[in-house]
Amino acid sequence: MDKRVFKLSEVIVIIVITALLSAVVTGFISYNTLIKTKKVTYVNLTNDKDLKEFLEVYAELVTDYYKDINKKELLDSAINGMTTYLDENYTTHLSKTDTSNLLNSLSGQYQGIGIEIKEDLVINDVFESSPAKKAGLKKGDKLIKVDDEVLEGKTASEAASLIKDSKKKSVVVTVLRDNEEMKFTIELSSVNIPSVYGEVVTDTKIGYIYLNTFSNTTYTQFKDKLEDLEKKNITSLIIDVRGNGGGYLISAKQIASLFIEQGKLIYSLEDKNTKVDYKDETKEKRSYPVVILIDENSASASEILTAALVDSYGAKTVGTTSYGKGKVQQTKELKDGSLVKFTSAKWLRPNGTCIDEVGITPDIKVELEVKDGKIIDSQYNKAVDYLKNNSK
């Protein structure tokens, strides 16, 4: 088996792509899709003296301040003040743009053509079954025009926006391939965002699955890939959540349930009033060895999945200590498209501990290695070696 080695430039691309998502998602784990949002009843709100005083100040400022006031911006500042007062990293007011980026990344779908673009405008990936794939775009093509808009000097984000924000049902994309300009007319449609990659490790019966987020579609993608690998007679599995900043709690719970025996604990949620245990309710389970690859950017849902499989399944961990995010958030979308996310509980791993600001310490600590300008994925290699020696 060839040891896994990355060129440093390839790793930088991976880091940049991951960072774009992690900048919005890291530290966020929502259970809105797992637990119905509680209906909040504002009892005696009209008799709240503190709120009445706030409204009086607001009214006087709007009416009597010597300059015109943007009421929307004034109220945004008040909301920002409330979240800042709580002095907690994961409670914040997200702008309309950041909210859109967050919700799009976690939906698992977006309106577009299905390509991943590097900062030099070269296509890094063409998603399977996407409009771009069907039209004939290829990895390595360089984008030079979208419709009649020349892309020289534009960022990858700007190029992507030109494609996604087109008011037409299709876009004409011009690329440079082998020093030849080529035009493709591509229909815009709903595209599934790949969040799972999998393969059988060369010359082994070890499966490998990489997760880059926990979106609405991640569980289905994971289950399909797992079953595909099992048809190839794998006898053990590596789950890679390095760089995975989190997402929906339900997705992590569903994936854990594929492995854990019915009735065993997956995690617990503890708020200021109660503690609720969440156990595996499915009949599905596995019994083969599992190794989970983690690093300092494995956060939230990644840590919930890891802790569940370690404590209730017997999985082993390889890599470096995880991020240490032991809290969960609820969200409140505002009419202007922005969003307030606030911490509403902490989660506990099956062994009863909270990993907040501590993380999960790997069973086998391994750092990545750099040799001759290339990064050797010694964590992956160690996981493969471990499973080769501990699988039937």
Supply the residues annotated as catalytic. 300, 325, 329
The whole-angstrom separation of Cα 22 and Cα 105 is: 10
- Grouping H, G, I as helix, E, B as strand and the rest as coil, residue 343 is strand
Most distant CA atoms of the chain, gap in Å: 79
For residue 278, the number of C-alpha atoms closer than 13 Å in the C-beta half-sphere is: 21
The whole-angstrom separation of Cα 120 and Cα 143 is: 9
Side chain identity, residue 134 = K
Written as six digits, the tokens of 153 are: 């000097």
What's 36's DSSP letter? P
Question: Angle 8-25/96-107 helices, nearest 10 degrees?
Answer: 110
Written as six digits, the tokens of 231 are: 């048809």
Of residues 21, 14, 7, the one with CA closest to residue 299: 21
**Contact, 180 vs 140, CB < 8 A?**
no
The whole-angstrom separation of Cα 253 and Cα 283 is: 14
Of residues 270, 262, 243, 285, the one with CA closest to residue 343: 270
Written as six digits, the tokens of 294 are: 């983690």
Of residues 155, 226, 215, 212, the one with CA closest to residue 191: 215
Contacts of 91 (CB under 8 A, 6+ apart): 83, 329, 341, 342, 343
Side chain identity, residue 75 = L
Helix (H) or strand (E) holding 364: strand 364-365
Side chain identity, residue 250 = I
Burial annotation 242-265 (CB, 10 A radius, 16+ → b, else e):
bbbbbbbbbbbbbbbbbbbbeebb
Burial annotation 110-126 (CB, 10 A radius, 16+ → b, else e):
eebbbbbbbeebbbbeb
